[in-house]
Amino acid sequence: MMKKLNLKKIITIGLLTTSILGVTSIGASAEWRQNTRGWWYSQGNSYATGWKNIDGKWYYFYEDGSSSGYMAYNTTIKGYKLGLDGAWIQNSTTTSIIPITAPLNWTRLTDDGYSLNNGSVLAYKPKELQGYSYDQALWDVGSSIIENKNNSNVHTTSQKYNGHVAMRYEYTDTSSTGSIKRNCFIVIVTSSKLYGFMLCGNNDEGFEIDKQNLEYVLNSTLNI
Let me know the angle formed at the C-alpha of 184 by 181 and 187, rounded to the nearest 5 degrees. Answer: 150
Q: Please, are residues 154 and 141 in contact by the beta-carbon 8 Å criterion?
A: no
- Residue 35 pLDDT exceeds 80: yes
Average model confidence (pLDDT) across the chain: 80
- H or E element in which residue 29 lies: none
pLDDT of residue 91: 60
Q: What are phi and psi of 9, to 5 degrees?
A: -65, -40
pTM over 0.85: no
- Residue 16 pLDDT exceeds 80: no
What average pLDDT does the segment 24-38 reach?
Answer: 73
